[in-house]
Structure 1
Amino acid sequence: MKYPTLDEWIDNVKSLPNNKASGPSGISYEMLKNLNKDNQSFLHAFICVCMDLNDIPDEWKKATIYPIPKPKPFFANLTNTRPITLLETPRKAFISLLNRRLSRILKNNNVLKGNQFAALPGNSTFEPIRMINEIIQDAKENNNELWLLSQDLEKAYDRVNIFMLEKAIERIKIPPNFIKIISSLFKNRQNQVITAYGLTDPYDVLIGIDQGKVISPLLWCIYYDPLLCEIEQRKLGYTLEAPKIALNKFYGEDTSEETEKLTISSSAYMDDTQWLAPSQNNLEKILEIADSFYKLNDIQVNKEKSELLVRYKQGRYRPKLKPHEPVTLRFGSDLIFIIPVSPRSSIRILGVYFDERNTFQSTIKRINDEINELRHKYARKKITDKHMIYIFNSVIIPRIEYWSQVKIYNIKNIGDNQDQAKITNVLIQINDASVLGKITHLRLKNIQHKEWLPSSLLAILPEKIVKKYRNNFLIASLNLLKNHNISLINNSSHDWLIPGGQISLLQVLEDAYFQHLFFFKKYRILFLEQILSDDGLLLSTNEIRDKFNIPTILALKWYRKIITALNTNKEILSSINRIYNTNYTNCPITTQQFSRESEADRIRKNYTSKPILLNTDNYPNYYVGTPKKNIDFNTNSFTLEHYNIDSISNNNKLEISRCQGCNNTTSTYTPLRPRRNQVQESFCNIECNISNTSILYMNQCTTATRDKHRLIPVDLNSHLHQVINSTSSVINIPTIRNTSISIINQTHNIDKQLLQHFENNSKLEALHIIQQHLKDEDTLSFYTDGSLINANTQAASMTAGFIRVSDANLITHSFTTTIENWPSSLRAELFAILLSLIVSPYGCRVDINTDSQNSINIIQRIYNNPTFSIRDYFRLPNNNIVINNIITIVKGKNLTLRFNKIKAHNNNYFNERIDQECKLAHHDSTPALVLKQQYFDNIQFISQWGSIPIERKLRKFITESSNIKNYLSFLHLPQNYKYKDVVDWDVTLWILCNNGEKAETNFEQHRKMIFKYKLLSEQLAVLEKTKRQYYDIYQDSNCPLCAEEKETFTHVWLCPYQTEAFSQSYNNFKNALIFGILNITTEVSAQQLSDQFDLLLYTKNFHASNITFIDIIKGFVPTTLVEWLQKYTTATQRRNLLIKAFDKLNEDSLELWKSRCEAFASIERMCGITQYMKNSISYNTKYKEPFNSYYNINSFLDSSSFNIEYIEYINLLIRFNVAYIDLFTFNVP
């Protein structure tokens, strides 16, 4: 076992947490961290001696026990406590080093094969909770039986046998020296217990591992792994299946060998274990194996406390939700009497509730109880707004987020937080490489097969699927992505595309596809190409029946819908033309020539009805009819019994009736024996050419109406169009179907790895040339740099580049390019490093000289983290795709990477040279070099907004997206719409949120903030709002001061009784700004400033589109006011001045409001209105506050403009990093 280096030891000490209890000596972690390098060297040498001796000092084996009480009465019972062991911190630092080494090896090599999700880096309760949820959901959707037993291990750590622990560690091939060190930690130990009366006498610890030791969870996982592995190998658990869609198999053939399966028998997080089985018999076999392991290792199990969730297979009709009958379960050598959890109840696993129906009612109840408890607890407490913000953000929301992590709620109040958490989590789940990812993919494939979809639900998510699986957490999570316009980029190996066609019937029929789902699935029809001929013509119904062995008794109701869709959807028709190299303009229907063979085929199929024919001898005139009996096919003419076309319905039905004579009649037919009460009639016959006659419809019979009409289910226009096209062709050009045409271009010369990482363009070709020149080098030195100009504006431009410097200090190669999306200086620097690495040959030593210390830190931190997981990837704040490309290239090419930090603008010639070239590249007109986002081996699915990959921390991006929606919703309120372009939102929000220090609060600040919010949102308790609750008391009362008008928010300030106070507020605000400017500068007089302020036209009334003084009272800062102040103040001076002015304005507004409230209270006392009367009145929902006619009612009705603005803001954020606030505040170009 290698000694740790001094740097490794110091890094290990620095990673130790702060504010942790120390051991008997009182040495804390903070003391170890503050040791100088000499003392660290001494401690490091001491640790190396411990590794030599395979032992630790005896003093390190002494510890104290601190019994933490459980949330219930103590009653002098130690079982009502959770004791932890306080160990010496140097010992814990040493164990931490061993733990880091061991966990890294076990994680990277996947040594522990059992479904244990604790202790190892990157593992958490995330995996087992979602795994159990998916299994329960699978059992419900596929009507499978499921037995889930959650068992309770009593004091697991205290029951660990050290001898058996050594054997378990030997099992995974850990070196003997390491095993000896681990064993020494648990031998010859002494503990003392902390009590109210001091420490107890020391006592010897004979068994178990310490609860507070950092390596204890990992040792337990090693100790428990043999049991989990043995049970998984027996294949006794619940099996998830996903049949593969095989279009080459027809109905009735065996396809069982094409089913993908995964059996899960257990799920464990530390000692919290769940056993899963498809039957009671299998569960008892699992428990028999588990019980033998527990007895062998002296692990005590509370068998009677086990909880059982059972889902029985249901019949056709859904049974009533009755409690399950008690079950006698064999648990090893014991029989336990256990009552399964009721269908209306749930089982608690890792703090989350599950029930057999997957309804999560217990979780919803728990959330409601938590909110209600909070409401009752704080309803009468004197707390401020900051208190409540902290309680919700730090206590309530994290709890709700954890409890509801496998449930999507339709609750708008927590919707933003739900979106932020759930969207990130579903990306982690589908990218998981462990058993959770396998289960997730199987579940998606299973639904894909059930719903007969051509590709994964990750690629397409029809609305019908969302509605059908509305209680499915996975589908609901994917729908969240869809609602946020987020789609997924995936590697080609993970798209689950079904081979057999390019145009799916789902694309053609859309929602109507699911009406015929059973039929398509039964006969394995998935793509339009399956029912097209080799030249792209739609097969006739008879040809489709013959091809797929469909009985004639089954009507092809979907056939006419396809014809309609192909006639209306030109995009699909274009796809057909592209695939088959044709030029169809209407639905291409297969036509059959009327001939001797067609008549013989009709007779063979026992069709008694004559075929309906279409003749085009005199096109554009055409005739529809039936052939007369006894046709001589040796001649080219025959007699057609002519029918008139009476109507053509929208559902492709042709209504025809027998013609009684027309201009084209060549002969007539008169029945010799008319029926009773039938008028003697003559019918029209026409002589036609057989060569110009095709079969319009041929079947067993046609539908006849009461008035002797016949209904023919054909699309006449498509049929006629196809007949004319086929007969008018002078030269028969054969069509060749080739879906894999090789296109010859210049990409064959470019290195494959370059094409894997970047889109092909002229910049890539230049990069390829440099790569070829450097392919034989074994050492390379690059100077890299990036440049960003016009940041946070729509003129933002980002470039990156490198120069290669030879050993003779000569520049041999240089390269620069522009970069698109997510502009930042860090992104440009990282992209430059990526470019230099992509041109480096395999096994090369690369020296990167850069002036970006941040880039160096990020790359080194990730590269030196061997347990970097998918969760870590999604935690990267920005540029995750670029960073992942860098790490992939370094590892894939086996590069030796060395960084050298260069001080910027310090007369370093090469650094200055690449800096200048990157600045010049801003004017480069050649296309930017674009990353191919789908090239990743470690990440299967990457999120993108629209078509742009999201290279920002996903949770942060969703937060920004939610903020934009909330901001637009605020703007689209009728009273706020006019503020869109005339308010400085940056200053407005800054003044609104200016409420003292964040970590401090008092009731004066609280009252001030509440009043500011009420002004901004017009939520003062004016009489018109009060009537909504107490209409029976106030009824049609007017303003309590003037009694002339309804008291609305606007009237409070314009009331004639408040004119003087209102004018005084105006003058005070004006004077505060003027005197503030005069204190800053003497270049302007007070009179000049007064005149200039008056020219801003902040009138003392209400206006629908212009800013008035009432809007300023509400807290909005006009851009014209800020521009005026800019002439005389700096940014800091301006903000301080506005703060003082608005503080004074809020004080005046509060005094005005208080005077109104005093007058109102006086009137209430005169009228005998008491609080008791108000409490006895119920809320009146019928009374509606009068709508202000000045408001813009179109502001909240125009949803299309709302969506357009939202998309515009997101695009500005992605492409130029322009914040939505800045767009209006500064009108960025």
Structure 2
Amino acid sequence: MNSDSEPINNGFIFGKKKLHNDIILVYGKNYNLGSNDIVLEHYITVNNPDDLFMGLKKCLGCFLDETSTLGPLERIHKQSNCLVKLRIEDVYFLENYLHSHAMIIHETDSYIVPDIIQSHIESNIWHEHNFIIEPMLFKEDDIRLNIFESNMQKSTHNCIEKYVKKEKFNKNLTIEKLNVINYKLIQQLGEQIFVYIDGSVINNGTENIDGIAGLHFYDKDHKLIDEFYVNIEHWISPSKAEVTSFIIALIIVHNISNVEIITDNEFIFNYFNDIICKTEIYNTRKLLKTQNNIYIWALIRQFIDLNEIIIPKITKIKAHDDDLYHNFLDQQIKGRYSDRNRVYSVNFNFFQLDKIEYMLTWNNIIIEKPIRRFIRYYNEILNLEKFFNLRRNRKYTIDSVEWAITFEFLKENENVLQTNFHTTKRRRYKIKNLIEEIPTVEQRKLTNFDIYKDWKCPVCERKKETFGHVWRCYSNRKRMRNIIYYSIICLIEKIKEYDIYTFDETKIIDLFINESFGEVKVNNNKLTFVDIIKGLFPKLLADFLRQEIKMTKVHIFETGVKFLDFVFDSTHKIWVDRCDLQKDKEISLGVTKEDKKHYSYDKNIVKKDINHKVYQKVEGLLNNIYFNIEPLDFIVRVNHYPGSSGI
């Protein structure tokens, strides 16, 4: 764009802005056009860079605002919250300034610019910018020169181009950037080079999770040579962000000596040293048993085995210590979450692995966990979703349950390699309780209708005996009140046992008084004490222990299991007494075991579909991959409404 261009009315423009030592791209509309400069009314992007459109929203004020520094001739009567001054030669048209096709969305005061892909136009701008800075890396016909010339011979297998995939649409800005950094480091001519690496994840365990890995390269005098930032995708976790920065560092410095990589990650430091020191042969089986980030560590191991890199010195520093350079890197990474300029995407070419002939994938996603653990995860989540898809369990997809405590309660504190009749019998009853399959009169009618069709509750002889009625029976009202009271006392006493928590007992009591889980009722939408009897621990109560009392995860588990065990033992006595009455009644009426073996059912009963599709496609596993949400955490966080189809 130049000063002779026609005035811009509604069309969007964008330009390069120097900020400290960085160059960033700024979007907006023309505010005031001068002879050499243009004042731009700042807009921020609200779209994904690869979308087939751009979403732009007026900035309400940010660190780029230069309103206070503009001269009186550069300001016009129109009010704006954020004005940015750019050189005209650094400004570009985002769309045809004579015929703008941007669509305004009045509700959010934003615009949609169709048929423009942000990543494409930014790639072109950075391509031009790199050419201006280092034109010697380009031929006249714009074909990249191989940067390994003069003082280095062209390698038959450049680690960067071998192990980093080319980007889609033939945009190779990432490979180009890695090569440029490598070239700059080579120009140090064997002098000491320091590489600081780190990774960061924000909003972990939520749908807004985001991860970035960063690398800073310094010369012997600790002057910054270059920097590199990369997005983390799939299986996002702090450990993956850290190891991603580490493997990129190894790839960049593969042919450079006198390099020291500084990290605060103890696992990377120890595991890499183990790989270097151990001489045992690794096969596919052993590689696939790596704890996490299987293929990244397999690549690193291959670098060593095939002597493809000059092994650098690895230094471990204390995390969050007073290391000036590492803290600066950490600060820069955090700043990239709000400014995605020059944050790259790196896809490693795992098909170059010699000892792994094929990649294990699920839904076209590479499985980065040990395969046995992944299969166990998959089956656990699949079975859990089948359980939630039962119509009778619909309530538990609406109201939250702390399922981790419930499953711990069902385990009976038994070693996985041991079993005995007592715990087996006890666990069997707990599971029957959970799925409401204890042999109440109404349950027996499903298989022995001819015998039990006119029978009522054996305790009160007035009402139909359903699972809920067992605990709500008028004859058991006083006992149930006492059980609720003493279960609260049990909960409080268990917390006191740790002798490290200060809390107000009345708040716990009020929680049971004010919330539905303190009532002996049957409710199709909310958790009640009847659900606690089944072994379900309310998430609201767990959150209270976690947030109000600040209990540790282990102590919450122990307290929750102790509470559920107390309720189980207390209510089991009610069931045993009820069964004694039922046996006496059956004996008095001459009902024998042989009679019960003859199947009969109510021919007028209307059969209902036992399933309602709430969870599909193993959603818990998908959310673990995309958002690092543990499967059980996903179950208790997601509310499904009628008509929801899930992911």
TM-score range, shorter chain: 0.5 to 0.7
Q: How far 1:1103 sits from its partner (Å)?
A: 1.9
Q: CA deviation at 1:1131?
A: 2.0
1:779-798 counterparts in 2 under 5 A?
780-798=193-211
Choose from 1186, 1189, 1210 the match for 2:621.
1210
**What is residue 382 of structure 2 aligned with on the other side?**
965
Structure 1 residues not aligned, in runs of 5+: 1-743
Does the Cα contact within 8 Å between 1:977 and 1:1195 map onto a contact in 2?
Answer: no
- 1:893 — aligned with what? 308
Alignment partner of 1:768 out of 179, 189, 200: 179
Please give the alpha-carbon distance, in whole angstroms, between the structure 1 residues aligned to 2:141 and 2:203: 37
The question of 1:881 aligning with 2:270 is answered no
Instruction: Give the match for residue 1110 of structure 1.
Output: 530
Q: Which residue of 1 aligns with 2:587?
A: 1165
Match of 1:945 among 349, 362, 366: 362
CA deviation digits over 1:767-812, x for unaligned, max 9?
A: 2311222346556542322223333333333222223333344432
1:351-387 Cα shifts (integer Å, max 9, x gaps): xxxxxxxxxxxxxxxxxxxxxxxxxxxxxxxxxxxxx
CA distance in structure 1 between the aligned counterparts of 2:420 and 2:371, rounded to whole angstroms: 36
Following superposition, the deviation at residue 1179 of structure 1 comes to 5.8
Give, in whole Å, the separation in 2 of the partners of 1:1144 and 1:784: 51
**Which residue in 2 is equivalent to 1:550?**
none
**Residue aligning to 2:318:** 903
Q: Which residue is 1:758 aligned to?
A: 165
Structure 2 gaps of 5+ residues are 1-139, 148-157, 640-647
Using the TM superposition, give the Cα deviation of residue 845 of structure 1 relative to its aligned residue in structure 2, in angstroms.
5.5
Residue 931 of structure 1: aligned partner:
347
Q: What are the within-5 Å matches in structure 2 for residues 722-733 of structure 1?
A: none
SS of equivalent to 2:200: strand
Query: Residues 831, 746 of structure 1: CA spacing in aligned structure 2 closer, same or farther, 3 A cutoff?
Result: farther
Instruction: Tell me which residue corresponds to 1:1017.
Output: 435
Distance 1:1082 1:873, change over 3 A: closer
5 Å-filtered alignment, 1:1172-1211, equals 1173=594, 1178=597, 1180=599, 1196-1198=611-613, 1201-1203=614-616, 1206-1207=618-619, 1209-1211=620-622
1:1089 and 1:828 map into 2 onto residues whose CA distance is 40
- One-letter amino acid of the counterpart of residue 816, structure 1: Y
Distance 1:1149 1:1016 in 2: 13
Q: CA deviation at 1:1114?
A: 1.1
Q: What corresponds to 1:838 in structure 2?
A: 251
Report the AA paired with residue 537 of structure 2: V
Over 3 Å counting, the alpha-carbon distance change for 1:805 and 1:1203 in structure 2 is same
The one of 512, 515, 537 aligned to 1:1093 = 512
The CA distance in 1 between the partners of 2:486 and 2:314, in whole Å, is: 61
Counterparts in 2 of 1:1114 and 1:784: CA distance versus 1, 3 Å: same
Q: Distance in 1 between matches of 2:142 and 2:271?
A: 36
Measure, in 1, the Cα distance between the counterparts of 2:527 and 2:513: 13
Shift of 1:1167: 2.2
Quote the Cα distance in structure 2 between the aligned partners of 1:1195 and 1:923.
48
RMSD: 3.8
- Offset from partner CA, 1:1105-1132 (integer Å, 9 cap, x none): 1222211211212233334555753325
Equivalent residues of 1:802, 1:836 under 8 A apart: yes
Q: Structure 1 residues 1159 and 1084 mapped into 2: Cα distance closer, same or farther (>3 Å)? A: same
- TM-score, normalised via structure 2 length: 0.63
1017, 1041, 1048: which one pairs with 2:466? Answer: 1048
AA aligned opposite 2:531 = D
Rounded Cα–Cα distance in structure 1 between residues aligned with 2:431 and 2:632: 19
2:183 partner SS: helix
Q: How high is the sequence identity, in percent, across the aligned residues? A: 24
Alignment of 1:642-1041 (within 5 A): 748=144, 753-756=159-162, 757-760=164-167, 762-775=173-186, 777-778=189-190, 780-840=193-253, 842=255, 844=257, 846-862=259-275, 864-865=278-279, 867-890=281-304, 891=306, 893-926=308-341, 927-938=343-354, 939-986=356-403, 988-989=405-406, 992-993=409-410, 995-996=412-413, 998=415, 1005-1027=423-445, 1030=448, 1033-1034=451-452, 1036-1041=454-459
Shift of 1:1215: 2.1
The aligned counterpart of 2:480 is: 1062
The 1-side partners of 2:625 and 2:254 are apart by: 33
- After TM superposition, the structure 1 = structure 2 runs for residues 241-256 of structure 1, keeping only pairs within 5 Å, are none
How many Å separate the matches in 2 of 1:995 and 1:1187? 38
Q: For 1:1127 and 1:843, locate their aligned partners in 2 and report how far apart those are by CA, in whole Å.
A: 50
Q: Which has the higher contact order (CA 8 A, sep 6+)?
A: 2
Letter in 2 for 1:922: Y
Q: CA deviation at 1:745?
A: 11
Specify the SS of the correspondent of 2:205. coil
- Residue 1149 of structure 1 deviates from its aligned partner by 0.9
Corresponding residue for 1:1220? 631
CA–CA distance in 2 between the matches of 1:1053 and 1:1185?
Answer: 28
Q: Which residue of structure 2 lines up, in the alignment, with residue 1142 of structure 1?
A: 564
Q: For each residue in 1:502-552, what CA deviation from the matched residue of structure 2 results, as whole angstroms up to 9, or x when unmatched?
A: xxxxxxxxxxxxxxxxxxxxxxxxxxxxxxxxxxxxxxxxxxxxxxxxxxx
Determine if contact 1:968/1:1202 at 8 Å carries over to the other structure. yes
Give the number of equivalent residue pairs. Answer: 473
TM-score norm. by structure 1 comes to: 0.35
Contact in 2 for aligned 1:852/1:901 (Cα 8 Å): yes
**Partners of 1:1195 and 1:794 in 2: how far apart?**
31
Contact 2:200 2:241 (8 Å CA) reproduced:
yes
- Residues in 2 aligned to 1:1149 and 1:1093: alpha-carbon distance in whole angstroms: 18
CA 1:933–1:949 in structure 2 vs 1: closer, same or farther (change >3 Å)? farther
Q: Are 1:820 and 1:928, in contact at CA under 8 Å, matched by a contact in 2? A: no
Aligned residue for 2:465, secondary structure, equals coil
Q: Is the 8 A contact 1:1028 1:1179 kept in 2?
A: no
1:163-218 Cα offsets, whole Å, 9 max, x none, are: xxxxxxxxxxxxxxxxxxxxxxxxxxxxxxxxxxxxxxxxxxxxxxxxxxxxxxxx
For each residue in 1:907-933, what CA deviation from the matched residue of structure 2 results, as whole angstroms up to 9, or x when unmatched?
344433433333333334145422144
Secondary structure at 2:359 match in 1: strand
Q: Which is further off, 1023-1032 or 948-957?
A: 1023-1032
The 1-side partners of 2:464 and 2:178 are apart by: 73
Change in Cα spacing, 1:754 to 1:858, as seen in structure 2 (3 Å) is: same
Task: Say whether the 8 Å CA contact 2:159–2:254 is kept in structure 1.
Answer: no
Q: How far did residue 948 of structure 1 move? A: 2.6
* Residues 1096 and 1120 in structure 1, CA contact (< 8 A), matched pair in contact too: no
> Measured at CA, do residues 1012 and 1184 of structure 1 come closer, stay the same or move farther in structure 2, by a change above 3 Å?
farther
CA distance in 2, matches of 1:917, 1:797: 15
How many Å separate the matches in 1 of 2:315 and 2:629? Answer: 33
Deviation at 1:1213, TM superposition (A): 0.9
Residues 655-707 of structure 1, C-alpha deviations (whole Å, 9 max, x = no match): xxxxxxxxxxxxxxxxxxxxxxxxxxxxxxxxxxxxxxxxxxxxxxxxxxxxx
C-alpha displacement at 1:1210, in angstroms?
A: 2.7
Q: For the Cα contact (< 8 Å) 1:818–1:921, is it kept in 2?
A: no
Confirm or deny: 8 A CA contact 1:971 1:977 kept in the other structure.
Answer: yes
* Whole-Å separation in 1 of the counterparts to 2:609 and 2:160: 52
> Residue 1153 of structure 1: CA displacement?
0.3
Q: Give the letter aligned to residue 1118 of structure 1.
A: P
Offset at 1:1203? 1.9
Check conservation: 2:405, 2:561, Cα contact below 8 A. no
Partner secondary structure for residue 793 of structure 1: coil
1:135-534 alignment to 2 at 5 Å? none
Deviation at 1:960, TM superposition (A): 1.4
After TM superposition, give the deviation of residue 1091 of structure 1 in Å: 4.9
Looking at structure 2, the residues matched to 869 and 971 of structure 1 have their Cα atoms a distance apart, in angstroms, of 40
Please give the alpha-carbon distance, in whole angstroms, between the structure 1 residues aligned to 2:318 and 2:546: 36
**Per-residue deviation, residues 475-495 of structure 1 (Å, max 9, x unmatched):** xxxxxxxxxxxxxxxxxxxxx
